[in-house]
Amino acid sequence: MTEITVNVNGKSYTREIEPRMLLVHFIRDVLGLTGTNIGCETSVCGACTILMDGQAVKSCTQLAVQADGSDVTTIEGLASNGDLHPVQEGFWEKHGLQCGYCTPGMIMSGVDLLKNNPNPTEDEIRHGIEGNLCRCTGYHNIVKAIQYAAEKMQGGN
Amino acid sequence: MYPAKFDYYRASSVQEAIQLLQEHEDAKLLAGGHSLIPAMKLRLAQPPALIDIGRIAELRGVTQDNGSIKVGALTVHADVAASDVLQSQCPLLAEAASNVGDRQVRHKGTIGGNLAHADPASDLPAAVLALGGTIHLLGPGGSRQVAAADFFLDLLATDLHEDEVLTAIEVPAISGKTGTAYLKFEHPASGYALCGAAAVVSLNDDGTCAGASLCFNGVTATPHNASAVAAALVGKTLDDATIDQAVNANLSIADPMGDMYASGPYRVEVAKTYAKRALKAARDRA
């Protein structure tokens, strides 16, 4: 067993874990934050995307010990004081989800994308979310949702 | 999918990592983990011990020195792709890195881990080979440098010894009228290269070809160097027809890989098309 301390959504957690525990299991099973989904488990689908030290990362392909000392943000940590993050709001307003399974990961990727490129073209959005698969193929409205967020975050709307 | 159990050690320096490698038989180094962890989850790899080198700051970053550029082994693909130094002086490596996986993968996967893993369908090996890059290794007996041409031995096999750490990749800065390009035909779901073509083209002042290099990922077990195509271009004026003819007449790839996605002969046909496109793109950028 190894002791790790991870700051998740602004709260510090110290836990004893097996070194082989994946970060996504630490988030879901140890901390009980089940908003982050497990999809393909092979680093392809992006359902498990979280922010680790501010960058989008697939948490099924990281060991929890690698996150020791890191700041992690999950979908539960995006809203502040009950106000949805603009990307969350975009998914609401533009019907950016159908079954919803890819949505937490898709939103985290959208947040990461807009942080690095606040005013992306449609092509840049589509390219930027290439690491997230929507099995419902609802990409059209996902792109609109991220465009909505980009406008809102730049003071539009 | 959980990996099999292993003992975990965190190295705070390269020397400590080498010492731990000597103490723990069959231990594997963990950098970004984006090749190793998937293999461990599928139980294709079950190392008894992992030595985490991911926090060794000295192994991270891009530095330049006298016409060559050194990229620390722990530099992640996103940082290679975004490096001002590489974009201006070795754009082929930056372009190849921007093709690896997706943005999440590029945030964690490292250039050293990628090359040490030597996946034939990855994007970096052909680029490093086409650039004439050098791999820096450090072991208990000291450091050694291996040319990329000698580093890749077979499918997932390299010249990296069990007690060595890959510390850096050194590539030359481009000079004069030189253009480069990396183009790939990728598997639509995984993004891995069915065929990736890395091209370097240098032009003389009169527009004729001073030198060229063309290498492929994804077609053979180790990156393929199409040196005959490159040689056929030297001295010529590189119009489209000349490039097409040089590729058609000189591109010969023995033992192409075939799998459920693409047969060997199909990959060779794709390689011909991508060779032409990459050489023309490199010429246009020169």
Q: Which residues pair with B212 in a beta bridge?
A: B201
3 state DSSP class of B184: strand
Task: Report the phi/psi class of residue B235: left, alpha or beta, with left for phi > 0 and alpha for psi in -120 to 50.
Answer: left
Q: How far is A42 from chain B (nearest CA, A)?
A: 6
Tell me the angle at which helices A139-153 and A86-93 cross, rounded to the nearest 10 degrees. 130
Domain ends where: A42, A76, A110? A76
pLDDT digits (tens, 9 = 90+) for B113-159: 999 999 999 999 999 999 999 999 999 999 999 999 999 999 999 99
Residues B72, B55 contacting (CB under 8 angstroms): no
A8/A70 same-domain check:
yes
A124 touches B at CB < 8 Å? no
* Separation of alpha carbons B94 and B44, rounded Å: 30
- For residues A48-59, give the mean pLDDT: 98
Residue B198: predicted pLDDT: 98
Does a structural domain hold residue A39?
yes
- For residues A133-143, give the mean pLDDT: 97
A71 touches B at CB < 8 Å? no
- For residues B163-181, give the mean pLDDT: 97
Residue B66: predicted pLDDT: 87
Q: What residue type is assigned to position A104 of the chain?
A: P
* Separation of alpha carbons B182 and A65, rounded Å: 35
- For residues B225-244, give the mean pLDDT: 98
Residue B1: predicted pLDDT: 82
Name which of A105, A107, A100 is nearest A41 in CA terms. Answer: A105
pLDDT digits (tens, 9 = 90+) for B51-101: 999 999 999 999 998 899 999 999 999 999 999 999 999 999 999 999 999
Does a structural domain hold residue A81?
no
What CATH number is given for B177-285 in this structure?
3.30.390.50
CATH label of the domain that carries residue A144: 1.10.150.120
pLDDT exceeds 60 at position A157: no
Residue B185: predicted pLDDT: 97
Does a structural domain hold residue A136?
yes
Does a structural domain hold residue A64?
yes
Does a structural domain hold residue A140?
yes
Domain ends where: A14, A45, A76? A76
Please indicate whether, in this complex, the C-beta atoms of B103 and A112 are within 8 angstroms of each other. yes
Name which of B134, B181, B148, B169 is nearest B286 in CA terms. Answer: B181
Structure tokens, A95: 């019907």
Does a structural domain hold residue A107?
yes
Choose the mutation target among B41, B98, B102, B186 for the interface with A, i.e. most A CBs under 10 Å.
B102
Q: Which position has the token pair 């879901």?
A: A28
Q: Which position has the token pair 């790939």?
A: B184
Q: How far is A34 from chain B (nearest CA, A)?
A: 17
pLDDT digits (tens, 9 = 90+) for A37-47: 999 999 999 99
- Tell me the pLDDT of chain B averaged across its residues: 97
pLDDT exceeds 90 at position B24: yes
pLDDT exceeds 70 at position B7: yes
B190 touches A at CB < 8 Å? yes
Q: Give CA separation, A128 vs B94, B183, B259, in Å.
A: 17, 18, 29
A90/A144 same-domain check:
yes
Which residues in chain B touch residue A65, judged by CB atoms under 8 angstroms apart? 8, 10, 52
Residue B154: predicted pLDDT: 97
Q: Give CA separation, B170 vs A1, A60, A111, A121, B110, in Å.
A: 39, 32, 34, 35, 15
A43/A104 same-domain check:
no
pLDDT exceeds 70 at position A156: no
- How does residue B190 score in pLDDT terms, banded at 50, 70 and 90? confident
Number of domains in chain A: 2
Please indicate whether, in this complex, the C-beta atoms of B101 and A131 are within 8 angstroms of each other. yes
A63/A105 same-domain check:
no
Does a structural domain hold residue A15?
yes
CATH 3.30.465.10 residue window(s) in chain B: 57-172
Q: How far is A80 from chain B (nearest CA, A)?
A: 24
* Separation of alpha carbons B110 and B128, rounded Å: 14
Domain ends where: A11, A42, A76? A76
Please indicate whether, in this complex, the C-beta atoms of A62 and B2 are within 8 angstroms of each other. no
Chain B, window 70-109: residues with a beta carbon less than 8 angstroms from a chain A beta carbon = 78, 101-105, 107-108
CATH architecture of B57-172: 2-Layer Sandwich (3.30)
- Tell me the pLDDT of chain A averaged across its residues: 97
Residue A155: predicted pLDDT: 84
Residues B179, B90 contacting (CB under 8 angstroms): no
A99/A148 same-domain check:
yes
CATH 3.30.43.10 residue window(s) in chain B: 7-52
Which residues in chain B touch residue A117, judged by CB atoms under 8 angstroms apart? none
Give the Cα-Cα-Cα angle A52, A82, A129 (nearest 5 degrees).
Answer: 40
pLDDT digits (tens, 9 = 90+) for B257-269: 999 999 999 999 9
What's the half-sphere exposure (Cβ side, CA atoms, 13 Å) at B145?
A: 9
Please indicate whether, in this complex, the C-beta atoms of B8 and A65 are within 8 angstroms of each other. yes
- How does residue B189 score in pLDDT terms, banded at 50, 70 and 90? confident
- For residues A131-153, give the mean pLDDT: 97
ipTM of the complex: 0.96
Please indicate whether, in this complex, the C-beta atoms of A65 and B101 are within 8 angstroms of each other. no
A112 touches B at CB < 8 Å? yes
Residue-range definition of the domain harbouring residue A139: 86-153
CATH 3.30.390.50 residue window(s) in chain B: 177-285
Residues B18, B139 contacting (CB under 8 angstroms): yes
Maximal C-alpha separation, chain A: 50
CATH label of the domain that carries residue A23: 3.10.20.30
Residues B212, B200 contacting (CB under 8 angstroms): yes
pLDDT digits (tens, 9 = 90+) for A76-125: 999 999 999 999 999 999 999 999 999 999 999 999 999 999 999 999 99
pLDDT exceeds 80 at position B34: yes
A55 touches B at CB < 8 Å? yes
A62/A113 same-domain check:
no
Quickly name the fold that domain B7-52 has.
Answer: 3.30.43
Query: Shortest CB distance from B104 goes to which of A22, A25, A58?
Result: A58
Any idea how long chain A is?
157
Name, in order, each residue with C-beta under 8 angstroms of A48's C-beta and a sequence gap of 6 or more.
A24, A36, A37, A38, A39, A58, A59, A60, A105
Contacts 24+ apart (CB under 8 A), B192-195: B192/B119, B192/B121, B192/B122, B192/B218, B193/B99, B193/B121, B193/B122, B193/B123, B193/B217, B193/B218, B194/B121, B194/B218, B194/B261, B194/B262, B194/B267, B194/B270, B195/B219, B195/B267, B195/B270, B195/B271, B195/B274
Percentage of chain B exceeding pLDDT 70:
100
